[in-house]
Amino acid sequence: MAKKKLSTAGRVLAVMLVLAMMFAVIGSISASADTFGKTIYVKTTKTTTPYLYYWVDGGASNPTWPGTAMKSEGNDTYSLDLPYDIGELTGIIVNKDNGGTDDSKLTGNVENITGNLYDVDSSTWSMYDTSGIKITSFGGSPESPQYIGASITLSMDAEGGSGDLQFKISVSGAADAVLSDYSSKKSVIWNPDKEGTYTVLFEVKDSSGETNSRSVDYVIKDAANAEDPIFLNASPSNGAEIKKGGSTTLTINGAGGKINNNILFYKAEVYDASGALVNTPYYTTSNKITFNADNGGEYTVKMFVQSNSQNNKTVDASYTYKAVDNPTSDTSTEIETDTSTVKDTSTDTSTVTDTSTATDTSTVTDTSTATDTSTVKDTSTDTSTVTDTSTVKDTSTDTSTVTDTSTSSDDTSTEVDTDIPGDVDRSGKADIKDAYLLQSAALGKIKLTSAQIARGDVNHDGFITLKDASMVQRAASGIEKLS
């Protein structure tokens, strides 16, 4: 079938239609690019005389290197008017002056342009606030993602407007809520209780009704199956007042660590206003840590949560407390709830004086007053023959249950040492009580005999340290075996 030829008029009409379509496409491209305006902003604390070099591929309006001086807008922010929309730029380079050398560069080629304000210090794009009310800061700490039960501080600040500013912070998503309605309050603690993705909205208004807002997304996860340790929060809360000259019990709330029997270890380092360490920090399965604030002023507590993994993964967080004579909430009478895996029920508040002389002639003297919350139940049978030439004065009260059917014949028989690693008190196994003795020895509260040291030095470094105590504690919990 022969093709029908278009007439001249038809060909002209077709060309016009094609051109019209091309101009429509070009127009739509230009419109889509026109989103950021022609004024570009740079925020930096690294210079007060920034120069901006920008370029468009094939553009005749590209400036001469190293660019054009920017105008200060205050608050470490600088601006420059461009001959075309920011969305049409191929890239920018920020220089600290007009030196034109590599040393003068504050950035490399910044080509992924997604806003009109580039923060040199954080290497991020955003939109510069040109409204009457300028939001100067907003966000959450710690940053997303976080976990159910975490304490997240949401805060914002703004300036400008007319009259007093009022702030509002709310969340929407898995659970919608207004956390803090319009007031002078600029921050709030958020404890998410549902898993999901949230949008946190920060709003501000002035007395004339003008408003401004910002938002951030937060992902909240469930820590039920997390293997890495997680710091959720601590009590007293960050910034709280504590009793000067009194005792404060700190509760560290952790999660995760779902590996090797799901045990977490906790530690806190407490520093007074002078920066001096006021406690003896060591890891324990108890999440309760008590310290005394003997002096007034600010105390900084660095808290650690460690998992029972092969490489002891650890997370940390820092809180500050103000020690005053009359705190708004008294933390010294806080009821302790031990959430550790090891359940200890017996009580030993005895003062122990042990002047026994061991067979290597070393002397053990312990005048410390200890509180031992361990439960020791030993049903093993020891049929060894023991020769005991020691003199022992022991005024302790020990409610532990011990079954010992050993046969002793003073001054005539030969002692058989089973040499069980970690079994400091020779109860027939390495248990929590042995870990407590090693911990006390490592802290210098008691002295051990050479035989006890030999059994207690489970990491074989020649010394009794808190690491030995921790290893015995883990062995008593069934986490690892000692050799």
CATH of the domain at 381: 1.10.1330.10
Query: In terms of domains, do 211 and 247 share one?
Result: no
Domain-embedded: residue 365: no
Q: Pseudo-torsion of CA 128, 130, 131, 136, nearest 10°?
A: 40
Note the pLDDT tens digit of each residue in 113-143: 989 999 999 999 988 877 889 888 899 998 8
Domain-embedded: residue 50: yes
Q: Is 112 exposed, middle or buried (0-12, 13-18, 19+ CB in 10 A)?
A: exposed
Specify whether the CB–CB gap between 227 and 246 falls below 8 A: no
CA within 13 Å, CB half, 349: 2
Find the range with the poorest average confidence among 174-178, 183-187, 193-197: 174-178
Query: In terms of domains, do 87 and 153 share one?
Result: no
Domain boundary among 186, 221, 256: 221
Question: Euclidean distance between the first and final Cα of the chain, in Å?
Answer: 95
Q: By residue range, what is the domain housing residue 181?
A: 133-221
- Measured CA to CA, the distance from residue 87 to residue 111 in angstroms comes to 11
Query: In terms of domains, do 146 and 210 share one?
Result: yes
Within a 10 A sphere around the Cβ of 212, how many other Cβ atoms? Answer: 19
Give the pLDDT confidence score for residue 310 in this predicted structure. Answer: 67
Within a 10 A sphere around the Cβ of 165, how many other Cβ atoms? Answer: 20
Query: What angle is formed at CA 107 by the lines to CA 106 and CA 109, rounded to 5 degrees?
Result: 150
Domain count of the chain? Answer: 4
Query: In terms of domains, do 204 and 158 share one?
Result: yes
Q: To 10 degrees, what angle do helices 466-476 and 432-442 make? A: 170
- Mean pLDDT value of segment 177-195: 95
Give the pLDDT confidence score for residue 14 in this predicted structure. Answer: 56
Note the pLDDT tens digit of each residue in 136-184: 889 999 889 999 989 999 999 999 999 999 999 999 987 889 999 999 9
Is the pLDDT at 241 greater than 70, yes or no?
A: yes
Domain harbouring 308, CATH code: 2.60.40.1220
Dihedral pair phi/psi, residue 252, rounded to 5°? -100, 120
Query: In terms of domains, do 266 and 251 share one?
Result: yes
Query: In terms of domains, do 463 and 381 share one?
Result: yes
Domain boundary among 156, 189, 221: 221
Domain harbouring 78, CATH code: 2.60.40.10
Q: Which two tokens stand for residue 6?
A: 């278009």
Domain-embedded: residue 9: no
Note the pLDDT tens digit of each residue in 51-80: 999 999 877 778 999 999 999 998 899 999
Domain boundary among 195, 221, 247: 221
Query: In terms of domains, do 215 and 143 share one?
Result: yes
**Local confidence band at 441 (pLDDT 50, 70, 90 cut-offs):** confident
- Measured CA to CA, the distance from residue 410 to residue 412 in angstroms comes to 6
Note the pLDDT tens digit of each residue in 244-294: 999 999 999 998 887 766 688 999 999 999 999 999 898 888 999 999 999
- Residue 21, C-beta contacts closer than 8 angstroms, at least 6 positions apart: none
Q: CA 131 → CA 125, 126, 204, 213, 246, distances in Å?
A: 18, 15, 12, 10, 50
Which residues share a beta bridge with 288? Answer: 251
Strand ranges for 49-195 from DSSP E: 51-55, 68-69, 71-74, 77-81, 91-95, 117-119, 124-126, 133-141, 146-147, 152-160, 166-172, 177-183, 187-190
- Measured CA to CA, the distance from residue 41 to residue 73 in angstroms comes to 9
Give the pLDDT confidence score for residue 212 in this predicted structure. Answer: 92
Give the pLDDT confidence score for residue 261 in this predicted structure. Answer: 65
Dihedral pair phi/psi, residue 225, rounded to 5°? -115, 15
